[in-house]
Amino acid sequence: MRAVIQRVTFGKVSVDGQDVASIVNGLVILLGVGPEDTQAIAAELAAKVATLRIFQDEEGKMNLSCLDVGGQAIVVSQFTLFADTRRGRRPSFTGAGKPEVAAPLVDYFAARLRAQGLPTQTGVFGAHMVVELKNDGPVTIILECPQP
């Protein structure tokens, strides 16, 4: 499972011109699911994301988590995080999990964030989404679980 985590002051996801998720202050999480990923992996990654200390404390140091600052999250499924570009110019996505595996794991990941106390919204799995955000910092972190 791969996640690109962006600390944001604003995030929004739209499908067909309709807003499906919107937050102020928090995390926009682009989540890719691999074929071998499980609920245990999703739970481990969600725990790490919810407690990742990438928000500034009163001294300007990254010492606080999204939970600590009362932030929110948007989870956006993104199979393209598993793009293989080693050969040619057209990416291969054979390393991404099949939709029947990935969709429930994206939902489970979002549910685990909520269970930790992090208000979490999601995009629409498999839809063409427009993601808007204002990256704060900018702070962008890439996590992979299990570690390669």
Q: What is the DSSP string of 136-148?
A: EEEEEEEEESS--
Please confirm, yes or no, whether 85 is among the known catalytic residues: no
Selecting among 6, 72, 79, 109, the annotated active-site residue is 79
Selecting among 38, 39, 80, 93, the annotated active-site residue is 80
d(CA 48, CA 1): 13
d(CA 60, CA 118): 22
Please confirm, yes or no, whether 125 is among the known catalytic residues: no
Selecting among 78, 120, 121, 122, the annotated active-site residue is 78
Please confirm, yes or no, whether 79 is among the known catalytic residues: yes
Q: Which amino acid is at 133?
A: L
The length of the chain in residues reads: 148
Q: What are the catalytic residues?
A: 78-80
